[in-house]
Each structure stands twice: as structure tokens, then as C-alpha cells.
């Protein structure tokens, strides 16, 4: 599988890179179909917004051109785009000037069990909590140790994903997915103003739902609110939508709205 660094086929990275030293950067995980990056505009918008917030002066037009060329070479699979602030000396202070580094890694499309989409998944209740930091909330930054610790909490095949709460006990997301629920005809998803990753599939499904006349709301959700939901599902930009059928002893049916949005996501990923 191909790997590019700053637009050139390469696999060697400088030990001075601030992404390695401090997690000083961002990344996007992008499905590629027939040489085309899926949901490209949403990925680029999130990356651009993240660079503004982290004060990384990135040439987005250059990144787009490289990503398109890389995707054509990859054909079908997954492109992981990593942007770091580049090399730096010891110390937290960003180098002046900073020269951002662009890393592209190609991989095969993950093979998920078909039953995850067909029958739904069981969530593992993660003990690891997400720290509340509004400055980084929503960003897909390189600091993912909370997710690493959460994913290490279970090894069995019974659970396909974990549920993560913040330090105040609010429901936030899955370890590598965003969470939706349906209650009294309203599509709900947790507010990510304090922590969590604002996924591109989450944004797309919200837009698609509204365009189909569905009522949507982004709000704080606690565990009681989750348990009282009529339907629950997860989404991300690689697998689309998985219904959630259980969390510990609580169970939900796989409902018609979940199936409708699942079909919409599948069409997006297969297009």
C-alpha cells in the first residue's frame, strides 16, 4: 500500500516531528472508492477548521490535490491523511516559522462482520471518560489516548463498539463512532461542544435527515435519556450506520429510521 510524505512516495519520518513528540496535528480517515475520496468536501472542511483552531498554516489546495492523486493510485481502500505542525526543537513552543508536514497512508477497507449492520451491535460501557476541553472539542486531533485506553477495556467478540461518556457523565460517542438516537420522532445526537469528535458521517446524516423532513436536535444526553430512546445507532465514515441493539441489560429494536439512514449512508459510501 502506498505512503506519501509531503507529496512524495516515502515511509521515513523525522524524529523531530511534533506529531510524534506532542500529538501536534490532525488526521482524517477517508474511504476511497474507484479512486475517489468519499465525502471529500466534509473531510476537507473539518481539516481546514481544525487547522484554524490549532493555528496550523496549511495549504488546503495542495492537500486536496495530493489526496486526489493519492486516491487515484490507491483505487479502493482507506486513505489516512495526517497533518502535523512539522519539525521542531525540544519544548512546547511552536517553531517560527512552522512548516506543516503532510502524510498519506493507504490501507485496505476494513472487513466488518455483516451482522453488525444487519442485526445491530452491543455496546461495551467504557469506564474511560472523555476530558472536557472546549478548545479541542470536535477536532480529530492526534491525541487519541483516551480512545486507546477505552478500546483496551474489552477484547471479546460480543461487543463491536464502546460507549464513552465525559467526566460529567454525559453520553458523548462511541470509541470510533458517533451516536444517534430517536425519541418521540426526533433524531438526537450528543452535543460535542465540550469533547468528542465531530464525525463527517454524523454531519452528513444530520444534513440528509433534515433534507428528508426529519426533526433533528443536537443536545446533551444522559444515560437515562439514552435508555429511553426508541432507536439507537452508530455511524462513521467507513462502515456507515450500525444499529445498536443492546447496552448491558438494556435493549433497543432496530427501527425504520435507522434502516432509512443506513440505506442513505450505504449509498454515499458505494457511490
The structural domains of the chain, ordered by start, are 3-107 (3.30.470.10), 114-270 (3.20.10.10)
The pLDDT of residue 270 = 87
Residue 271 pLDDT greater than 80, yes or no? no
The pLDDT of residue 78 = 98
Lowest-pLDDT range of 31-35, 68-72, 89-93, 143-147: 89-93
The pLDDT of residue 89 = 85
Residue 92 pLDDT greater than 80, yes or no? yes
The pLDDT of residue 239 = 97
pTM over 0.85: yes
Q: How many CB atoms lie under 10 A from the CB of residue 266?
A: 14
Q: How confident is the model at residue 120 (pLDDT cuts 50, 70, 90)?
A: very high
pLDDT in tens, 208-257: 999 999 999 999 999 999 999 999 999 999 999 999 999 999 999 999 99
CA distance 62 to 51: 14
pLDDT in tens, 17-63: 999 999 999 999 999 999 999 999 999 999 999 999 999 999 999 99
Lowest-pLDDT range of 87-101, 115-129, 152-166: 87-101
The pLDDT of residue 90 = 87
The pLDDT of residue 220 = 98
Q: Calculate mean pLDDT across residues 94-112.
A: 94
Active-site residue numbers?
29, 140, 173
Amino acid at each position: 500500500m502506498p505512503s506519501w510524505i509531503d507529496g512524495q512516495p516515502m515511509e521515513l519520518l523525522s524524529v523531530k516531528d511534533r506529531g510524534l513528540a506532542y500529538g501536534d496535528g490532525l488526521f482524517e480517515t477517508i474511504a476511497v472508492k474507484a479512486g475517489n475520496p468519499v465525502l471529500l468536501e466534509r473531510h476537507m472542511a473539518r481539516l481546514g477548521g481544525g487547522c484554524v483552531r490549532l493555528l496550523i498554516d496549511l495549504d488546503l489546495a495542495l492537500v486536496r490535490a495530493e489526496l486526489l492523486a493519492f486516491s487515484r493510485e490507491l483505487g479502493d481502500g482507506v486513505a489516512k491523511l495526517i497533518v502535523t505542525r512539522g519539525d521542531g526543537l525540544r519544548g512546547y513552543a511552536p517553531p517560527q516559522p512552522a512548516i506543516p508536514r503532510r502524510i498519506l497512508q493507504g490501507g485496505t477497507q476494513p472487513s466488518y462482520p455483516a451482522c453488525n449492520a444487519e442485526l445491530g451491535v452491543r455496546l461495551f460501557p467504557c469506564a474511560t471518560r472523555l476530558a472536557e476541553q472546549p478548545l479541542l472539542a470536535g477536532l480529530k486531533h492526534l491525541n487519541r489516548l483516551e480512545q486507546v485506553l477505552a478500546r483496551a477495556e474489552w477484547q471479546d467478540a460480543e461487543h463491536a463498539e464502546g460507549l464513552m461518556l465525559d467526566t460529567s457523565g454525559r453520553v458523548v460517542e462511541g470509541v470510533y463512532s458517533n451516536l444517534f438516537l430517536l425519541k418521540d420522532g426526533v433524531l438526537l445526537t450528543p452535543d460535542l461542544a465540550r469533547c468528542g469528535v465531530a464525525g463527517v458521517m454524523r454531519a452528513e446524516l444530520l444534513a440528509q435527515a433534515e433534507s428528508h423532513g426529519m426533526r433533528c436536535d443536537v443536545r446533551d444526553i444522559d444515560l437515562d435519556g439514552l435508555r429511553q430512546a426508541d432507536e439507537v445507532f452508530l455511524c462513521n465514515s467507513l462502515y456507515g450506520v450500525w444499529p445498536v441493539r443492546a447496552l448491558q441489560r438494556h435493549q433497543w429494536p432496530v427501527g425504520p429510521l435507522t434502516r432509512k439512514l443506513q440505506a442513505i449512508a450505504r449509498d454515499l459510501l458505494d457511490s
